[in-house]
Amino acid sequence: MALSIGVDIGGTKVSAGVVDESGAILARHLTPTPSHSPRAVEDTIVAAVEQLRVSHPEVASVGIGAAGWVDTDQATVRFSPHLAWREEPLQARLSRRIDLPLLIDNDANAATWAEYRFGAVADAQVLVGITLGTGIGGAFVIDGRLFRGTYGMAGEWGHMITVPDGHRCPCGNRGCWEQYASGNALGRDARELASARSPQAQGILELTGREPDQLTGADVTRAALAGDATAIEMIGEVGTWLGRGIANLAAGLDPDAFVIGGGLSNAGDLLLAPAQQAFQRTLTGRGFRTPARLTLARFRNEAGLLGAADLARHSLVEPPSERRAGFWPGRGRLRSRLRRRLGGERAAG
């Protein structure tokens, strides 16, 4: 049984795990993202891998899901809005310290791949992944192939301009989608409401035990799940922004499914229902087309490490440099080979 370690590096935490061929996670390791220092994050990754290998020495590869723009060769993190990675040669640096085949990919690519391979959307022909965490990440799977774009940066849905001259984004622009539909956006709005001493925020503060300037999106989500009316309303507003953005993506990509993951998806139907309503109201050609289905991710916070591990396992068979530009072939190539073989047999018959 081939085992691989997957590591998911987010803006707030680093999750790692040992994963088998069926997608089962055999061991886990979780630690806060130490700081914005690239070296500190590197040390955290190495420590997680070393700890997991103690109990599973037969691990054959390591996959890293990085919160940033990873180049086509899956070696360099070109830019990360939430971490201090700028042209960071992460694959080379980690390979000096980890003596296993190692693959780097975008964390949203990894998470969406996990949902496609092992989750609730394995039957999707065209799948759009949306990860709602510190920001918004995304990925695109077409006929079983992960599309990464010409330079490895496809799927950055979160940095589409939604509100011209809107909230400042860590990417440098204003009005990005993730400034209105993400965990950061939810936490920012809660802090503003609480700092203004609004009585509407009192319930959130009491339920979480936080000071106004400490509130996070996760706090609001917990308060909403506990029944706080203001928190539920705030989740609904984020859901509305989410649904509008999804409608824009559907206009351009025409997928048959969207899978929504990341920490904010823990809000469940409190997020999905208003997103579905806004999507249906905003979708171009509504009433004359089949709308894509919106599905919550099955693996939630574990999707990134699960997908990274599976991508690393497959990279042992087909290294990144041998792949068709823009695609991680996956099952799509296998299907093409089967079609060609069957076609040849029919012609011969």
Q: Give me the count of residues in the chain.
A: 349
For residues 42 and 104, the answer to whether their CB atoms sit within 8 Å is no
| Residue 7, CA distances (Å) to 47, 154, 327, 335 in order | 11, 21, 21, 29
Percentage of the chain lying above the pLDDT 90 cut = 74
For residues 216 and 183, the answer to whether their CB atoms sit within 8 Å is yes
Residues 108, 128 share a domain = no
Residues 284, 139 share a domain = yes
| 347 is a domain residue | no
Residues 117-174 have pLDDT tens digits of 999 898 899 999 999 988 898 999 999 899 989 888 899 999 999 999 999 998 899 9
Residues 152, 31 share a domain = no
The reported pTM is: 0.86
Residues 149, 279 share a domain = yes
| 328 is a domain residue | no
pLDDT for residue 334? 35
Q: How many CA atoms lie within 13 A of 85 on its CB side?
A: 27
Residues 279, 160 share a domain = yes
pLDDT confidence band for 99 (50 / 70 / 90): very high
Number of domains in the chain: 2
Residues 189-206 have pLDDT tens digits of 999 999 999 999 999 999
| 344 is a domain residue | no
Residues 221, 136 share a domain = yes
Instruction: Calculate mean pLDDT across residues 89-107.
Output: 94
Residues 137, 183 share a domain = yes
| 330 is a domain residue | no
Residues 239, 94 share a domain = no
Task: Please name every residue paired with 4 in a beta bridge, in sequence order, or none if there are none.
Answer: 19, 61
Mean pLDDT: which of 9-13, 16-20, 85-89 is highest? 16-20
Q: What are phi and psi of 233, to 5 degrees?
A: -65, -40
pLDDT at 298 over 50: yes
CATH number at residue 87: 3.30.420.40
pLDDT at 338 over 70: no
Pinpoint the alpha helices (H) of 196-329. Answer: 202-208, 217-225, 229-253, 269-282, 303-315
| Residue 290, CA distances (Å) to 144, 173, 245, 293 in order | 21, 34, 18, 9
Residues 89, 48 share a domain = yes
| 29 is a domain residue | yes
Residues 143, 275 share a domain = yes
For residues 172 and 179, the answer to whether their CB atoms sit within 8 Å is no
The mean predicted confidence, pLDDT, of the chain is 89
Question: Helix or strand or coil: residue 289?
Answer: coil
Domain end position, chosen among 269, 297, 325: 297
Residues 75, 137 share a domain = no
Residues 307, 180 share a domain = no
Parent domain of 175: 123-297
